[in-house]
Amino acid sequence: MTRAKSWQTDQRFKTAIDWINASIERGNGRGLKLDDDVKTALAACCVKRNGVWTLRKTEPKPDPQYLVYKAFHIARHAHKWGNLAPWNEAFTGRLMRANDDDRSLFDRAFDQFGGVNKS
């Protein structure tokens, strides 16, 4: 397994979307193609710590960002471990209470994140 290259020390990103785009182009995405809506929702789940953008460690509250955040974590876990263990009853209930647009966004995000390493 190869390790990801570290960022240049002088390379800084003004927005989370810039960081996401650079990460995908750099090779961390490995063929990842994200819709603009998914990128925007994922960027809302990012925070800047010590001048570096990262994905937040706690779940965001608003539904579109929460659902994209969960889609990312569930798809990543499914690829790594081969199961959907992070998917629980509370998440199913929240997904059922979400409106149609948010559920559609979750479906697209889950499909796009799940297709990252299928090769």
pLDDT value, residue 114:
80
Decide if 7 is inside a domain: no
E strand or H helix that includes residue 44: none
Decide if 57 is inside a domain: yes
Q: Looking at residue 48, what DSSP letter applies? A: E
Decide if 106 is inside a domain: yes
Tally Cβ neighbours within 10 Å of residue 73.
15
- Alpha-carbon distance of 31 to 3, in angstroms, equals 17
Q: How confident is the model at residue 5 (pLDDT cuts 50, 70, 90)?
A: low
**Using one digit for the tens of pLDDT, what is the confidence trace for 59-115?**
888 888 999 999 999 998 988 898 899 999 999 999 999 999 999 999 999 998 885
Decide if 5 is inside a domain: no
- Alpha-carbon distance of 29 to 71, in angstroms, equals 15
Report in angstroms the alpha-carbon separations of 23 from 20, 29, 31, 58, 103: 5, 7, 11, 21, 26
Provide φ and ψ at 10, rounded to 5°: -90, 0
* CB burial of residue 23 (10 Å; 0-12, 13-18, 19+): middle
Can you say whether residue 15 is alpha, beta or left, with left for phi > 0 and alpha for psi between -120 and 50 degrees?
Answer: beta
**Using one digit for the tens of pLDDT, what is the confidence trace for 28-57?**
556 678 889 999 999 999 999 888 899 999
**Average pLDDT, stretch 15-40?**
82
Number of domains within the chain: 1
Decide if 31 is inside a domain: yes
Decide if 69 is inside a domain: yes
Model confidence, pTM: 0.80
Query: Which structural domain range is residue 61 located in?
Result: 13-119
Decide if 4 is inside a domain: no
User: Is pLDDT at 116 greater than 70 in this prediction?
Assistant: no
